Structures are given as structure tokens and as C-alpha cells.
Amino acid sequence: MTALRLGGYALLAVAGLLVGAAGALVQAAWFPGGLLLALLAIAGLCYGGVKAAGARMGGGVPAGAWTVAVLLLTSSRSEGDFLFGAGLGSYAFLLGGMFIGVMCATLPLVPQPPGPPVRLGK
């Protein structure tokens, strides 16, 4: 694994953390449009990671980071405050985001069609 690929995965992990934190705030603030926006953000990040990296790991890294961020934000603080309410939107965000992350991380990569390599001008 090259340093460039590791750097790309690190950027995808940071983006997954940021999308998870932003989605946790947006999904409750602008329900139901915020929920849709938050789920589309994680889907776009994971699918874009798969396409950019050319490997399933490109979708798994941001999905894992998203899950870690969201699960850390669900824990209550010592004062009794917590970020997620007990509404249907919060559960849809948690389960929908995890489902989308797993779906994008396990997408089959379509191989190139068989045939001889062709160079232009030959």
C-alpha cells in the first residue's frame, strides 16, 4: 500500500467523521429534509470513496469513521445531555446510515471487459 493511498484513506476517514457529526445535527434540525440530506451525504461519500479508490476499502473507511462518530455522539454526557432524541428520525438516521455504508462498502467492482489493450495511433 502506497503512501498516496494511505493518505487518501486518511482523508476519507476524516470526511466520514465530519459527515457523521454534521449529519447528526442536520437530521434533527430540518426534519425530514435534513434526514434525507444527511443520508445522501454519507451515500455520496461512501460511493465516491469506492470510485475514487477503485477498491471497496474506499467505501468502508468513511463508513467506519461515520459509524464511530455517530456512536460516540449517541452516548449521554455526565450532565444527562445527549445529542440524539428518541424520535423516529434519529433511528432512521442511525440505521439508514449504517445500511448505506455497508451497501457501498460491499458493492461489487465491475471488471473491465476482456480484450487486448489498445493504444491510439497504433
89 located within any domain:
yes
CA distance 74 to 84: 6
Tell me: the pLDDT tens digits for 86-96? 678 888 988 99
117 located within any domain:
no
Q: Report the pLDDT averaged over residues 18-23.
A: 91
Q: Report the pLDDT averaged over residues 10-17.
A: 95
pLDDT category of residue 99 using cuts at 50, 70 and 90: very high
Give the pLDDT score at 36: 93
54 located within any domain:
yes
35 within 8 A of 92, measured Cβ to Cβ: yes
CA distance 13 to 5: 12
User: Would the pLDDT of 29 be above 70?
Assistant: yes
Number of domains forming the structure of the chain: 1
Rounded to an integer, what is the distance from CA 57 to the centroid of its chain? 11
User: Structural domain of residue 32, as residue ranges?
Assistant: 3-76+83-107
Q: Is the alpha carbon torsion for 16, 17, 20, 23 positive or negative?
A: negative
Grid cell in block for residue 38: 444527511
User: Would the pLDDT of 111 be above 80?
Assistant: no
118 located within any domain:
no
pLDDT category of residue 8 using cuts at 50, 70 and 90: very high
40 located within any domain:
yes
CA distance 114 to 38: 39
115 located within any domain:
no
Give the pLDDT score at 68: 92
Q: Report the pLDDT averaged over residues 45-74.
A: 89
* Percent above pLDDT 70 for the chain: 84
22 located within any domain:
yes
What mean pLDDT, rounded, does the chain reach?
84
Highest mean pLDDT of the ranges 40-49, 83-92, 108-117: 40-49
120 located within any domain:
no
87 within 8 A of 32, measured Cβ to Cβ: no
